[in-house]
Chains A and B, each alone.
Chain A
Amino acid sequence: MSPRIVVAGASMAGLRAAEQLRAAGWTGTITLVGDEPHMPYNRPPLSKEVLAGRAPFTSLAFRPRTSVADVEWRLGTKVVASRLCERIVELDDASALSYDGLVVATGMRPRRIRCPGPLAGRHTVRTLADARGLRDELTRPGARLVVVGAGFIGCEVAATAVGLGVREVRVVDPLPLPMVGPLGELLGRALLKRHEERGVRFSLGTGVAGFKGEDRVTGVVLGDGTVLPADVVVESVGSLANTEWLDGNGLDLADGVRTDEHLRVGGRPDVVAVGDVARFPNARYDGVARRVEHWSIPTDTAKHAAKVLVAHLNGVEAEWEPFAPLPTFWSDQHDFRLQSFGAPALGADDVRVLDGDPAGDVLVGYHHDGRLVGVVALGGPAAGAAAARHRAELLKQPALTAQGSA
């Protein structure tokens, strides 16, 4: 029998892993197992173009490279358990697959709010089915939307809803500003102002205590007792790693699956993790293992993990530079874009305007020990271009040490 690599998860990270396994010289079987019925598709448009009704599914589907035309797709099927010592994964159709190499690419699922109240009318945005269901409810005349969570998805959904003409759009978050975690206060304030000017209302500094309604939600109860009327609720309060199927193998699954500096799992050279489920140390920064939910991460992790795994399986001795991607993220909201390079969160205590003005196009720098570690642009294409000009500088910087100085 041909040797086999099983890729658990058939979303972007799974697809990129399969492509990179072939690029790294793997000629054996590749089997991808994914719980959604669809071929891998691009998720960022779900909270924007799909919700707005501007993008059909065909425009979201990735075009797999011809090198993966022969891989086996087990779609609509979930990996439910694993025995890594025996190199076996079990699927929810009661079958099992043995493997020579395993790629963990099972991703994340939305965290839900655990409060009393009805479930109907409450949405998350992770899958195509989620986005379609939300769109159906938002496009009903007179719908009032409450978004819980002012992060990336919450802010994008609120902006898209305003564009759709939703009667009332309100965002709730226990933190004092939108996206304050990734952006810090300066840009958080600028973002708040822009959203308010475009019709989004905010209830900040307060959490959700419950939901009103019998069969379906009619209101959101805040921590201070205020009730916000709502016909539709979006819960965008973070995500949980899909790692239950790895339980019982002695792995560190505290938040995603812990990997070493080469994305290997549990000290096993035959198991790697890719995408947002991987909690990896970035050699560019402080060596602390973190999960990263940026869109670029599936591709970055797949490239590194695939070459390391294939070299091992092919019996090739090789030395690799530790995995050290330059983080990048963007977010499109209303008529503006946020574009980031580097690690702004590591420089949140020293934030400076590098160019422009928070009221217009602005470029903000984040510094650690006086050194630039990240930039974020807010505004139009010129701001994004200004951020891109700092990218080379961020790439050239020596690694931050664990003590935080170079």
Chain B
Amino acid sequence: MKVVVDMNKCQDHGQCVFAAPDVFRLDENGRLGYVGDPDDALRDEVEEAADVCPLQAIRIED
């Protein structure tokens, strides 16, 4: 599974971190980092993260 975050849209809300902590994280400055090719077993939580992103900046590419 491939995950792409549109960093031009991202406003560091961090909702994705709550939904999929194995894939998304905020650094000490509150800025987003993520794993671009998470294991397929994490699909449910990545879909959840994409749903709850207020900017709808997360895209899942199969």
**Looking at A44, A339, A384, A385, which has the most chain B CB atoms within 10 Å of its CB?**
A385
- Contact between chains at B12 and A384 (CB < 8 Å): yes
- Contact between chains at B54 and A384 (CB < 8 Å): no
- Contact between chains at A63 and B31 (CB < 8 Å): no
Q: Decide yes or no whether A336 CB sits under 8 A from chain B.
A: no
- Contact between chains at B18 and A381 (CB < 8 Å): no
Q: A59-B9, A63-B59, A65-B47 are in contact. Are A385 and B52 (CB under 8 A)?
A: no
Which residues from B are CB-within-8-Å of A296? Answer: 15, 52
Which residues from A are CB-within-8-Å of B13? Answer: 330, 339, 384
**Residue-by-residue, is B37-62 near A (CB-CB < 8 Å gives 1, otherwise 0)?**
00000000001000110111001000
Out of A299, A332, A380, A384, which one reaches B52, CB within 8 Å? A299
Q: Decide yes or no whether A388 CB sits under 8 A from chain B.
A: yes
Name the interface residues of B1-38: CB closer than 8 Å to any CB of A.
9, 11-15, 17-18, 26, 29-31
Which residues from B are CB-within-8-Å of A62? Answer: 56
- Contact between chains at B59 and A385 (CB < 8 Å): no
Chain A interface category by residue count: 20 to 34
Which residues from A are CB-within-8-Å of B17? Answer: 388
Of all chain A residues, the one with the shortest Cβ separation from B18 is A391
**Residue-by-residue, is A18-56 near B (CB-CB < 8 Å gives 1, otherwise 0)?**
000000000000000000000000101000000000000
Out of B30, B47, B54, which one reaches A295, CB within 8 Å? B54
Complexed CA–CA distance, A65 and B62 (Å): 12
Q: Decide yes or no whether A258 CB sits under 8 A from chain B.
A: no
- Contact between chains at A381 and B52 (CB < 8 Å): no
Complexed CA–CA distance, A375 and B13 (Å): 15
A-B contact count (CB 8 A): 39
Which residues from B are CB-within-8-Å of A65? Answer: 47
Complexed CA–CA distance, A79 and B26 (Å): 43
Q: Decide yes or no whether A129 CB sits under 8 A from chain B.
A: no
Complexed CA–CA distance, A384 and B11 (Å): 11
Which residues from B are CB-within-8-Å of A328? Answer: 15
A306 CB to nearest B CB, Å:
13
Q: Decide yes or no whether A119 CB sits under 8 A from chain B.
A: no
Complexed CA–CA distance, A295 and B15 (Å): 12
Complexed CA–CA distance, A63 and B54 (Å): 13
Which residues from B are CB-within-8-Å of A16? Answer: 51
- Contact between chains at B51 and A388 (CB < 8 Å): no
Q: A63-B59, A388-B14 are in contact. Are A381 and B54 (CB under 8 A)?
A: no
Complexed CA–CA distance, A152 and B18 (Å): 24
B56 CB to nearest A CB, Å:
6
Complexed CA–CA distance, A339 and B55 (Å): 15
- Contact between chains at B14 and A385 (CB < 8 Å): yes
Which residues from B are CB-within-8-Å of A251? Answer: none
Q: Decide yes or no whether A382 CB sits under 8 A from chain B.
A: yes
B17 CB to nearest A CB, Å:
8
Complexed CA–CA distance, A264 and B24 (Å): 34
Q: A63-B59, A296-B52, A388-B14 are in contact. Are A381 and B30 (CB under 8 A)?
A: yes
Known pairs A339-B13, A384-B12, A388-B14. 5 more at Cβ < 8 A?
A: A295-B54, A380-B30, A381-B31, A382-B29, A388-B17
Q: Which residues of B contact A (CB under 8 A)?
A: 9, 11-15, 17-18, 26, 29-31, 47, 51-52, 54-56, 59
